[in-house]
Amino acid sequence: GDSVTQMEGPVTLSEEAFLTINCTYTATGYPSLFWYVQYPGEGLQLLLKATKADDKGSNKGFEATYRKETTSFHLEKGSVQVSDSAVYFCAVQGGSEKLVFGKGTKLTVNP
């Protein structure tokens, strides 16, 4: 079945540092790829998505590019803020109806 391997956390950065969270996937067909974010005590919010190879999803300064050749969808942000502290989930939606998540990466940004 579909699966996602996501960079293990936790990740701790200083404000304005560069962020990369690695994500690779296996899926059948032509999957769509997503990053979701969960702020402390809150639900899941869609951060960005990409539906075909070479698409770049972006939102709130975060970016991820759908790389079919490396089956990757790494999340990046050039300058993180304290308010970015959250758990980030990479997810893949392949031929089945369901969304399969990675294990999540907890990010803490210190002032």
Q: Which one, 18 or 30, has the nearer CB to another protein?
A: 30
- In single-letter form, the type of residue at position 53 comes to A
Minimal distance in Å, beta carbon 95 to another protein? Answer: 12
Q: Which one, 18 or 38, has the nearer CB to another protein?
A: 38
Q: Which one, 36 or 66, has the nearer CB to another protein?
A: 36
Minimal distance in Å, beta carbon 104 to another protein? Answer: 5
Q: Which one, 34 or 73, has the nearer CB to another protein?
A: 34
- Which residue ranges make up the site for another protein (CB under 8 A)? 32, 34, 36, 38, 42-46, 49, 51, 87, 89, 93, 96-101, 103-104, 106
How far is Cα 51 from Cα 41, in angstroms, rounded to an integer?
29
Minimal distance in Å, beta carbon 58 to another protein? Answer: 15
Instruction: Confirm if 59 and 36 have CB atoms less than 8 A apart.
Output: no
Minimal distance in Å, beta carbon 45 to another protein? Answer: 8
Q: Do the bridges between strand 11-14 and strand 105-110 make them parallel or antiparallel, or are there none, so unpaired? A: parallel
- In single-letter form, the type of residue at position 12 comes to T
How far is Cα 31 from Cα 12, in angstroms, rounded to an integer?
31
Q: What's the alpha-carbon Rg for the chain, to the nearest Å?
A: 13
Q: Do the bridges between strand 23-26 and strand 105-110 make them parallel or antiparallel, or are there none, so unpaired? A: unpaired
